[in-house]
Chains A and B, each alone.
Chain A
């Protein structure tokens, strides 16, 4: 019988291969553990606080017409295609209203014409998808802060939740997002009704979408229907403040 003797080198190579395999298998198992993911998610608070401290109220860079993406890519829902949305769309959104509710003194129901009559802001900014790509577009809209000042927030209000007309999956309750008041009152945070000088196309969120320029694409809620001022996310869907947040993504998407 031949006795197999491992040389040091073989032992080292096989040992490290086995160790590596165990490590990676372990990492995969940890990736399925909600409590471990919550631990890793602690870094989000660090990022949020660090960025609020360093970034403050700074504005994002605004670009020139010559920097525009030839085609502004659409992602997520390209057409909500619900009965309700199709009816609004057929009438060029004349019957659409943005309802403002929650912790406000004056609940509002704003038509597109009323929003267009408010002082507008136009900005050419970069849109960054969580997937990694970027597109540059020219947005025109009403600063969200102006709408909130009209509605007059109550002292308890801490977040603005935005509800949308689209569902990414059937009966998911609809897309929604939320931001804090620092971002809500940021001068570049808009309720945008135009892209590149034209009415907002349906693929990009007609009739109204959010632009919150210092965060990633999934925060830029499209097909807005209702905004609500709240004190916390408790009782709102899974309580994490957004559609993708309920599916494991960071609520603070500044990175």
Chain B
């Protein structure tokens, strides 16, 4: 959200004129994240953890995945997670409690739906999606993406001007979660609802059945969990104080450019 700063002119510390030595200048602080992004991010962070863990609780009630319209213990499973599913520390509640797990799951699923609607509305209207999230044509050029992957592998994170915006891998990850995984999790979740199926039977056709939808729902949720793991790792590697503070207060110190 680097352009917030340009649009609203919120410079906390104007950089002093570089006099021969560019990296001796005062740190430049920009307003990186809008209030909406920050509030919604933290509601999301909490809710996603709770839906994932209560989802594992629900999964453990029948820790087998099937493909097709039907699938139960007499039928051949696609994949089974042990005899009892995931360990108790990964589920919410930590003991076997399907009824309570469902309550957590659906409460926070609804919250995520509301949250996502507000986020999409605000982000499309403010231009956040177009300006900050969608990669440009130049950015998705294979050579650029490969260079970015190489930089990430060497843990060389953007500095100076490049640090004002998201890099292409970041953009692709965020766009992938917001516009691919989240809608997929919601749609497959709704396909598992016998009530909703009556209203939208085409969902069954789209996903190849309720049990396929359950398998896709689980797989997409695991990809969300993978995203969170990588996201947290990147925050720690890129400088947790600056990143976490920017998501709380909005203030982000632009890392100085490397000496030439």
Chain A residues packing against B (C-beta within 8 Å): 8-9, 12-13, 23-24, 27-28, 31-32, 37, 39-44, 46-47, 51, 54-56, 58-61, 63, 67, 69-71, 73, 126, 128-136, 213-216, 244, 247-250, 254-255
Contact = CB atoms under 8 A, between A and B. Distances in A.
B198 A255 contact: no
A44 B106 contact: yes
Contacts of A67: 69-70
B199 A54 contact: yes
Contacts of B12: none
A28 B94 CA distance: 7
Contact of A131 (B61, B75, B94, B197): B61
A31 B101 CA distance: 9
Contacts of A134: 66, 69-72, 210-211
B66 A249 contact: no
A41 B204 CA distance: 27
Nearest to A255: B193
A27 B50 contact: yes
Interface in B59-76: 59, 61-62, 64, 66, 69-75
Given A9-B236, A31-B104, A44-B106, A129 B72 contact: yes
B223 interface: no
A130 B98 contact: yes
B70 to A, nearest CB: 5
Nearest to B61: A131
Given A55-B196, A61-B197, A132-B59, A248 B100 contact: yes
A70 B73 CA distance: 11
Contacts of A126: 69-70, 194, 210
A254 B196 contact: yes
B97 interface: yes
A215 B195 CA distance: 6
Contacts of B92: 24, 27-28, 31
Contacts of B210: 126, 128, 134
Nearest to A248: B99
B168 interface: no
Among A8, A56, A133, max chain B CB count under 10 A is at A133
Contact of A42 (B62, B64, B107, B241): B107
B104 A73 contact: no
A8 B237 CA distance: 12
Contacts of A255: 106, 192-196
Contacts of A136: 69-70
Contacts of A215: 194-195
A55 B192 contact: no
Interface string B187-218: 00000111111110100100000110010000
- Cβ-closest 9 pairs across A and B: A254-B195, A248-B99, A133-B72, A31-B93, A132-B62, A71-B74, A40-B103, A131-B61, A255-B193
B240 interface: yes
A234 B137 CA distance: 64
A214 B198 contact: yes
- Tell which of A58, A129, A248, A255 has the most Cβ of chain B within 10 Å: A255
Contacts of B41: none
Nearest to B197: A60
B124 interface: no
Given A134-B211, A248-B103, 17 more contacts: A12-B236, A27-B104, A28-B94, A31-B104, A37-B103, A41-B107, A55-B198, A60-B197, A70-B75, A71-B74, A126-B70, A132-B58, A134-B66, A134-B71, A214-B194, A249-B102, A254-B195
